[in-house]
Amino acid sequence: MMRIRSPERSNNSRHFWSSWLFSVYWISVHWISVHWTWVNMIKNGMGHGGWDMIKDIGGII
């Protein structure tokens, strides 16, 4: 019975770790992309008058 159980356990743990790593990887990539989008937007807004452009677009709409 131990011989039958051991590969099953290793497969389950491997599946658990792969899914956990995948979810952590996906969340971190998603968070970093969102975070860096906001950072770049703020930097561009401060540096290149992006807020004026947004106000102009808002005025047009």
**pLDDT tens per residue across span 13-46:** 778 888 889 999 999 888 888 888 877 777 776 6
Given a contact cutoff of 8 angstroms between Cβ atoms, the answer to whether 17 and 26 are in contact is no
Q: How far is CA 54 from the centre of its chain?
A: 26
Three-class SS of residue 61? coil
* Tokens coding 31: 């968070």
* Tokens coding 28: 């971190």
**Residue 30: its pLDDT value, please?**
86
**Residue 7: its pLDDT value, please?**
55
With 0-12 / 13-18 / 19 or more C-beta atoms within 10 angstroms meaning exposed / middle / buried, residue 50 is middle
